[in-house]
Structure 1
């Protein structure tokens, strides 16, 4: 269950990064809504991370949390913000995914 919560925490990290990107593109009151979304997603992500680190090693949990966030944020950047999907970006995101899976496999 802790691993599932950790993945969810990472997805909320992706959401708060996406909110920042959308706030940058917005104007007026809409910007404020995106910043509120950022704060909500940030809070949920951090609370879940705190919860899972009570059972999982901090180094592993933090690495997986940031890895899920990094992979997800790059994918959101590509699909939502039309950032380039170059070979090297995709190559290194793939190696990051392999590393996250590897941490899960070797963790007790």
Structure 2
């Protein structure tokens, strides 16, 4: 159950990053509240996951999900570059997160 909380925390982190982009263009109360809720939920779920998952592992996987998710969303939603080197390094981050899960 804590691994599910950690994965959900990472997904909320990605959603929060997307909302940061939205707040830069739509400075309305709804966007700001969604941003606060998203990051608040992300931190709450991360703290739940850290009850049983070691801190270093949980934080590395949480930031890895956030990094990979934000980079992919940037490519697909905002037309950021999709060159092979960028995809290679995103894949390396993903492999590192999976490796940490296998060791825990």
Give the TM-score category using the shorter length.
Answer: over 0.9
- Offset of residue 25 of structure 1: 2.4
Question: Structure 1, residues 26-82: CA drift from partner, whole Å, max 9, x if none?
Answer: 25x3xx322211100000000000111011100000000000000000011111111
Partner of 1:48: 45
Number of residues of Structure 1 aligned to a counterpart in Structure 2: 104
**TM-score, normalised with respect to structure 2:** 0.95
**TM-score, normalised with respect to structure 1:** 0.92
Partner of 1:93: 90
Gaps of 5+ in 2: none
Which 4+ stretches in 1 moved above 6 angstroms?
Answer: none
Partner of 1:80: 77
Gaps of 5+ in 1: none
Give the root-mean-square deviation of aligned CA atoms.
1.0
